[in-house]
């Protein structure tokens, strides 16, 4: 499923450095769990490129663009625009695509109250093997 989603994402022709794959896909690329869709955070440049091509809709109080199983966001709950820029800038490359560092995914999911996010927090903490219930500080940079 992830391979197909990445192929679809590639068709958007977003320039590297203007987007990052967020949500559950950073877990999927590390074989921690599968994902069914892609959540993409884009820079202002990326947003302007896509806003003319895809319809906007509201998802959980966030304006979003959608193409198939890809949802594209300009902002994300709990992160400022400056933090979103840092998440994009500090992305880790897998298979030629920028994925958010697990630290940022953990940070967001830790704040969430959804059951699936709590399970993801456990998966990330287990992945790092950290008894302090957070990824090591080295994941910040």
CATH for the stretch 2-100: 3.30.460
- Residue 57's pLDDT is what? 85
pTM of the model: 0.88
pLDDT at 140 over 50: no
Band (134; pLDDT cuts 50, 70, 90): low
Taking alpha carbons only, the member of 129, 71, 132, 128 closest to residue 105 is 128
Read off the pLDDT of residues 29-72 as tens digits, 9 standing for 90 and up.
999 999 999 999 999 999 998 988 888 888 776 889 999 999 99
Domain boundaries, the chain: 2-100
pLDDT at 20 over 50: yes
Reduce the DSSP state of residue 6 to 3 states and report it: helix
Give residue for tokens 């999927």. 28
């Amino acid at each position: 499923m992830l391979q197909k989603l990445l192929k679809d994402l590639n068709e958007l022709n977003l320039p590297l450095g203007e987007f990052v794959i967020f949500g559950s896909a950073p877990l999927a690329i590390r074989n921690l769990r599968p994902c069914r869709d892609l959540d993409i955070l884009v820079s202002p440049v990326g947003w302007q490129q896509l806003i003319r091509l895809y319809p906007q809709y509201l998802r959980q109080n966030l304006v979003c663009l959608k193409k198939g199983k890809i949802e594209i966001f300009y902002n994300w709950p709990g992160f400022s625009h400056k933090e979103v820029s840092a998440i994009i800038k500090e992305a880790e490359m897998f298979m030629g695509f920028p994925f958010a560092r697990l630290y940022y995914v953990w940070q967001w999911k830790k704040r969430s109250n959804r059951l699936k996010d709590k399970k993801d927090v456990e998966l990330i903490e287990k992945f790092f093997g950290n008894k302090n219930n957070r990824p090591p500080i080295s994941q910040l940079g």
